[in-house]
Structure formats: structure tokens, C-alpha cells
Amino acid sequence: MKKILKLLQPELFFTFLLMVLSIVIIIVSLRYGFGALRRPGPGLYPFFIGVFLILPFSIILLILGLKSKKSEPIFEKYGLRKILLMILTFILWIIAMPYLGYVIVTFVATYCFCKVMKLEGWLKPLAMSVGTALFIYLLFDYWLYIDLPRGILG
């Protein structure tokens, strides 16, 4: 009974869900097929992701979590707030991208991530945001010629 109650703790419950998700990914990828060595099929990459998630992460973390004597909370006092702010930033990033453009939204989102993660001052987050936005622009638009949403930059 103690093992079942221990599985209901947030850390172990998340690890168990990760293991179940990994198994589902492996099963679905097997249905897609691996293809050939010269022409990989659509199931090859998800299969290896599922195996990678289940072996080092899920099983080992589940075993270590069940063997541990004490339980530590999954989030520190303000950790849940950080996670929710980061999820909100990702959602707003996706919503605003077609309107403002990828570079501007990446700049703003990176700045928000830096502030949520408590990077001190305003110069370091600003430098990180400018560097990230510039790198994304150079990588995708200039070097790889991939069209990203331009938004108000036209």
C-alpha cells in the first residue's frame, strides 16, 4: 500500500506518466514504420525518442524515486508560478507571432523568460534577448532561407 501511495506523489506520478507516454510513442511509431536505411520512415525518429525517454528517464527515475526514503516537493515555494509564467509566455509567443513577426516576438519572449528566471538587472536580459533574436534571424532567414512570420516587419 505504501508503494501505491508513494506513486501518488507529484514527482513519481510525473515519472510514471512519462513512462506511459514513452510506451505510447514507441507503439505509435511502430505503426508508422521505420523505412530503410537510405530512406528513413516517419516512425524512426519517434521510436528513438520514445526509447530515450523510457530508458534513462522514466525507468531509472521511477526506481530511484521508489527507493528513496524521503520525499521532496516537485516545486519550490515559487516554482509553480515560474512554470505557469513560462507556459503563458510560450502561449503568447505562438499567438503573437503571426501579427508581430518572429524576430520581435522572440525578442520579447526571451526577455520575459530572462525576467521570470530572475536574471538580474535589465542589461543582461536585454543583451540575451537581442542576441537570441539576431541569431534566430541569421540562422533561419539569412543562412537557411526559411520563411518565418514577418508580421509588422512585412
Query: Is residue 109 packed enough to be buried (19+ CB in 10 Å), middle (13-18) or exposed (0-12)?
Result: buried
At 9 the pLDDT is 65
Query: Per-10-residue mean pLDDT for the chain, 154 residues long?
Result: 54 77 88 81 85 78 69 60 87 90 92 91 93 90 81 73
At 71 the pLDDT is 56
Distance, in Å, from the CA atom of 145 to the CA atom of 152, rounded to the nearest integer, reads 19
- The CB density around residue 98, as the number of other CB atoms within 10 Å, is 12
Distance, in Å, from the CA atom of 154 to the CA atom of 109, rounded to the nearest integer, reads 20
Question: Which amino acid is it at 22?
Answer: S
Q: What is the CA radius of gyration of the chain?
A: 21
At 8 the pLDDT is 54
Distance, in Å, from the CA atom of 103 to the CA atom of 131, rounded to the nearest integer, reads 11
Distance, in Å, from the CA atom of 43 to the CA atom of 34, rounded to the nearest integer, reads 5
At 128 the pLDDT is 94
**What are the strands, taking DSSP E only, across the chain?**
none
At 112 the pLDDT is 93
At 146 the pLDDT is 80
Distance, in Å, from the CA atom of 119 to the CA atom of 88, rounded to the nearest integer, reads 18
Q: What is the DSSP code string of 100-123?
A: H-HHHHHHHHHHHHHHHTT--SSH
